[in-house]
């Protein structure tokens, strides 16, 4: 087969490869955008708009139509970004291909309303986007777990029962799970109760760590109990107490999943909230090398657990790839938040393909709040993956068949195996 034929197959077949979306904020009860502002002011774009000079007060307007209308004059400043590129593809779903202006805005509203009238989120994701499985972000307070398990699985977030714990969190844990949290034993009982409630509905336990936050093995229980008492008395913790309680909760969950098929997701590289940063993100990328060093003993101790590391920081890419190269149970996935840009996707894809076994990472997750933006995100990832693989074929690093095999692994098959979805 000649090179020209191989290239055409890359662009023909990548759009049809199934996907597993391993990180979303979808609401299975309302599986579509409830208004146009959820499309046009998706938080990636909202941050760009405020950064470009749009008054942040516009984001707080009560009327969603007026929010979008007031945004229009500032869209010209972000037309060059890849997030806007994805937005244009989302708007094309509504048969809207014009430039969004005051004059065309009524047409967009009409087309959006017509599209959404008969919109079925799961059908759209399955048939148009080719998603086979999507992960839902769940909190311990989400007691209604009635979702379609043939399509969805859960991802239980730990922030609110570890590093962001409060008096209110303690009371809710105690009320929901009939336990008392006065010491380390009470906290351990609460963790077990939460796990038992969610274990049959989740594929991951997930936490996002600020660069300054460290997880250690076997934190001192005395320090954990100091943290519990201080939260009860003052509502705050010292940095040392916070890391101890965080470490305690994470280690307890890792003990509970070490003999099962639940994966531990670690989201890294973002410091938030950062005062004065553009809303709604209020976040920047930051790195702390000692954090990664502190995680390696965790990967070693819990060899039976699959860890999937997800970073928004371009600077961390090589370090995380080296960790994944050295630890059989560590994987590195996706293009999260501040790395969801084509140049970074290309750089990361090339490095991982040249450095890691092909089964060590997943190339897609949407981080989307509505199905329409899952489409926008997958369009960007598929397009860039095809361009990158085409370039690697042309330069002689891959042949066409191996490139297609890699694409199927990165978009679909690896997630099935890493997350035990088979």
Taking the whole predicted model, whether its pTM rises above 0.75 is answered as yes
Q: What is the pLDDT of residues 252-277, one digit of tens each?
A: 999 999 988 999 999 999 999 999 89
pLDDT attached to residue 204: 98
First to last CA, the chain: 33
List the one residue out of 323, 265, 331 whose CA is nearest residue 294: 323
pLDDT attached to residue 151: 97
Cβ pair 200, 194 in contact under 8 A: no
Q: Say how far apart CA 399 and CA 71 lie, in whole Å.
A: 46
Q: Say how far apart CA 326 and CA 323 lie, in whole Å.
A: 5
Residues in the chain, pLDDT under 70:
1-7
Containing 1, the helix (H) or strand (E) segment is: none
Q: Say how far apart CA 373 and CA 56 lie, in whole Å.
A: 22
Q: Say how far apart CA 58 and CA 39 lie, in whole Å.
A: 15
pLDDT attached to residue 19: 98
Residue 110 CA, chain-centre distance (Å), reads 31
pLDDT attached to residue 236: 87
pLDDT attached to residue 143: 81
Q: What is the pLDDT of residues 2-40, one digit of tens each?
A: 445 455 789 999 999 999 999 999 999 999 999 999 999
């Amino acid at each position: 087969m000649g090179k020209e034929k191989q290239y055409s197959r890359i662009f023909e077949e990548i759009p049809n490869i199934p996907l597993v979306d391993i990180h979303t904020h979808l609401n299975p009860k309302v599986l579509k955008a409830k208004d146009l502002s959820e499309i046009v002011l998706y938080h990636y774009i909202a941050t760009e708009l405020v950064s470009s000079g749009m008054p942040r007060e516009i984001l707080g307007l009560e009327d969603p139509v007026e929010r979008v209308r007031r945004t229009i004059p500032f869209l010209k400043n972000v037309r060059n970004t890849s997030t806007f590129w994805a937005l244009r593809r989302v708007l094309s779903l509504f048969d809207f291909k014009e430039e969004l202006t005051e004059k065309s805005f009524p047409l967009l509203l009409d087309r959006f309303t017509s599209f959404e009238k008969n919109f079925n989120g799961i059908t759209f994701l399955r048939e148009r986007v080719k998603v086979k499985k999507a992960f839902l972000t769940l909190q311990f307070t989400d007691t209604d777990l009635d979702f379609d398990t043939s399509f969805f699985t859960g991802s239980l977030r730990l922030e609110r029962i570890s590093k962001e714990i409060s008096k209110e969190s303690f009371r809710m844990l105690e009320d929901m799970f009939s336990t008392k949290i006065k010491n380390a034993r009470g906290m351990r009982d609460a963790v077990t109760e939460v796990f038992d409630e969610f274990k049959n509905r989740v594929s991951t336990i997930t936490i996002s760590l600020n660069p300054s936050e460290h997880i250690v093995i076997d934190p001192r229980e005395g320090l954990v109990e100091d943290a519990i008492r201080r939260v009860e008395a003052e509502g705050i913790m010292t940095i040392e107490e916070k890391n101890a309680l965080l470490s305690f909760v994470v280690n307890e969950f890792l003990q509970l999943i070490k003999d099962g098929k639940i994966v531990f997701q670690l989201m890294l590289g973002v410091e938030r909230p950062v005062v004065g940063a553009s809303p709604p993100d209020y976040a920047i990328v930051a790195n702390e090398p000692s954090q990664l060093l502190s995680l390696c003993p965790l990967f070693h101790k819990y060899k039976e657990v699959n860890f999937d590391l997800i970073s928004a920081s371009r600077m961390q890419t090589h370090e995380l790839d080296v960790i994944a190269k050295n630890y059989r149970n560590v994987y590195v996935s996706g293009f999260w938040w501040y790395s969801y840009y084509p140049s970074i996707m290309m750089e990361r894809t090339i490095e991982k393909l040249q450095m890691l076994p092909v089964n060590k990472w997943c190339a897609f997750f949407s981080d989307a709040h509505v199905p329409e933006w899952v489409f926008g995100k997958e369009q960007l990832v598929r397009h860039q993956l095809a361009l990158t693989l085409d370039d690697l074929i042309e330069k002689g690093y891959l042949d066409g068949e191996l490139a297609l095999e890699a694409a199927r692994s990165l978009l679909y098959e690896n997630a099935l195996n890493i997350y035990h979805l088979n």
